[in-house]
Each structure stands twice: as C-alpha cells, then as structure tokens.
Amino acid sequence: MAVMSRRKRRNRIILYAVLICLAVLVLVSVRSGWLVGSASDSTGIGRTGKVHPRLQDHDLLNYDKPLEELIGASEEVNEAVSILIEKSKCRLSVLLRGQVVKQYPVVFGDNVEDDKFMRGDGRVPEGRFRILKLYPHDSWSKYMRIDYPNRRSWEKHERAKRDGIIPADAGIKANIGIHGVPQGEDYLVEEGTGWTGGCTAMTRADVDEVYLVCRKGTRVDIVK
C-alpha cells in the first residue's frame, strides 16, 4: 500500500509539472502570435514584424496638440468629424468638415500595398466605410469597428473570384476596425512595427483621443 501511495503521489507530481509546462507554452505562444496567426482578421495579432515607415512628430499636423482643443467637444462637432487613413503613409487624419485638423501615426499588418479581397489575407480594406460600433476593449483600450464588408467590398470580392485572384470558395466576413495596442506596447506604433491581421492600430493614448470625437456612422475613408 505504501508503494502504491508513493506511486500515486509521483504520478500526480508529474501530471502537475506537465500541466504547468503546457500553460507556460500556451502563454508564450499567444504573446508571440504563434497561436493567433497573421491570417486573423478579427482584430487578431499577426505580429508579422513588417516594418512600416516611421513618422516623426513634425511629419504629423498638430500631433503635439490635444484634439479637443483643436475642434472642441459637442454633438454638432462629432457629426462633422470624419477619418482618413492613408496606408502608404501609415497615417490617420481627423477631419472637421472636410479639413484636416490633426494627424496620427498608425500601423497595419504585413501588407499595406494591396486592397482586401477576402477573409484571412491580412490586408486593410480600401474604400469608404462607416463606424459600425464603438466600445472599450480589454486588450486594445478602444475599438471602433467599421462596416466592412459593405456593398462595394462585396462587389470587389466577387470580381476577384471571377478573375481568379482569390479562390472560388473564399469568404469575406471579417471584423475590421481601428484600435489601440496591448498595454505597454505603444512601441509597436512608435517603431513602425506591423502586427495586426487587417486592422489599423494606434497608440493607446491616440486611440482614446480619437474615440471621443467619433460616433456610430462616422465616415472612414481608407486609401493607398
């Protein structure tokens, strides 16, 4: 009986050790992006390491000034705000009645050159969109989801299938938007490191500021 008891204790210790090792491996894998994968479009972390152009403060209009001081804060102002995202410049601009009032550095995933045609390609869609919903996010501070895919997105998706650019069974549904970075990882934007699966990422302070002047229905134009 004593031998059996010692054997059970030993087996239990081995089991606990294996479980602890597995937990550590999963944690490291998630942090490194191994389990999430760069193909995710649902705000997933690609962590591709793709380096984007680095913008300095002097390259960005009014980046050193609080947005609220530039445009004020009221329902009327919010209705006049729109967003412009320039992929090739890794820049997000806030416009008031069509005039740029402030610009921010942003990063994307591993492909900033091409338009998005299907789910899982890691690209950022181009076109005119509207913010579908806004909400605080546990990992990325704030999240502003856009209405991708809209009618124009579906048209491009179907055309790409007919032209053989994407597989005939490719899907399109994806969760695409504007959001921050994980806590303590503003350096991803500051160093120009692409890491998303198709979204636009800002520093946490920047996304918090933009979030305050946007609303459901705010226009978002995404261009090359």
Digit-by-digit pLDDT tens for the chain (224 residues) are: 554 566 666 667 666 665 665 554 544 443 333 333 333 454 444 445 566 666 666 689 999 999 999 997 677 777 899 999 999 999 999 999 999 999 999 999 988 899 999 999 999 999 999 999 999 999 999 999 999 999 999 999 999 999 999 999 999 988 999 999 999 999 999 999 999 999 999 999 999 999 999 999 999 999 99
CATH superfamily of 38-223: L,D-transpeptidase catalytic domain-like (2.40.440.10)
Other C-beta atoms closer than 10 Å to the C-beta of 131 total 20
Other C-beta atoms closer than 10 Å to the C-beta of 223 total 12
- Report the chain's mean pLDDT, rounded to a whole number: 84
Domain ranges of the chain: 1-32, 38-223
Q: Residue 179 forms beta bridges with which residues?
A: 143, 201
Task: Please report which helix (H) or strand (E) contains residue 68, including its range.
Answer: helix 67-71
149-186 pLDDT, tens digit per residue, is 999 999 999 999 999 999 999 999 889 999 999 999 99
Copy the structure tokens of residue 207.
Answer: 């996304």
pTM of the model: 0.77
CA–chain centroid gap for 112, Å, is: 13
Copy the structure tokens of residue 156.
Answer: 């491009």
